[in-house]
Copies of this chain bind each other. A is one copy, B any other.
Amino acid sequence: MTENTSHTRPYSGVIAHLKQAGLRPTRQRIALAKLLFEGENRHVTAEDLHAEARAAGVSVSLATIYNSLHQFTDAGIMREVVVEAGRSYFDTNTGDHHHFFHEDTGSLEDIPTELINVSALPAAPQGKSVQRVDVIVRVSADD
């Protein structure tokens, strides 16, 4: 079992994690990776992560937050989720799953893929292939 399922890894594996992703383990990427990958899976916006880094005493520019988030996404260790116009969420859970979007709080919650049965997908138009199927269940407080 060489397979390490991202969030079960103790701490300090971040550097290896970054290298495996083909990214130099710089001071800022290490700090961000620790915040993101140690512990539970998370859904963050760039601003969220920026604030969190500051709070943790890590000095990183917002531009670097965006750069890192996109690099992590391109490297396949995060993914981008779009639920609201004008704001991007980045998800540390890269496995197959779906989301509850809490409209009140603007937060995302994972829905394990087994819990939703997306079947009988119409064939993708010819010459095209399906990149991903996103299911977003929008919930909010009862009336």
Contact surface of A with B, Cβ cutoff 8 Å: 80, 82-88, 100, 102-103, 109, 111, 115-122, 124-125, 127-143
| Cβ B138 vs Cβ A132 within 8 A | yes
Contact B115 A117 (CB under 8 A): no
Instruction: Flag if A130 contacts B125 (CB, 8 Å).
Output: no
27 A-B pairs with CB atoms under 8 Å apart are A82-B83, A82-B85, A85-B85, A85-B87, A100-B124, A100-B125, A103-B131, A115-B122, A116-B118, A116-B120, A117-B117, A118-B118, A124-B137, A125-B139, A127-B141, A128-B139, A128-B140, A128-B142, A129-B139, A129-B140, A130-B137, A130-B139, A131-B138, A133-B135, A133-B138, A134-B135, A135-B135
Question: How far in angstroms is the closest Cβ of chain B from A106?
Answer: 13
Q: How many copies does the complex hold?
A: 2
Instruction: Give A96 Cβ to nearest chain B Cβ, in Å.
Output: 14
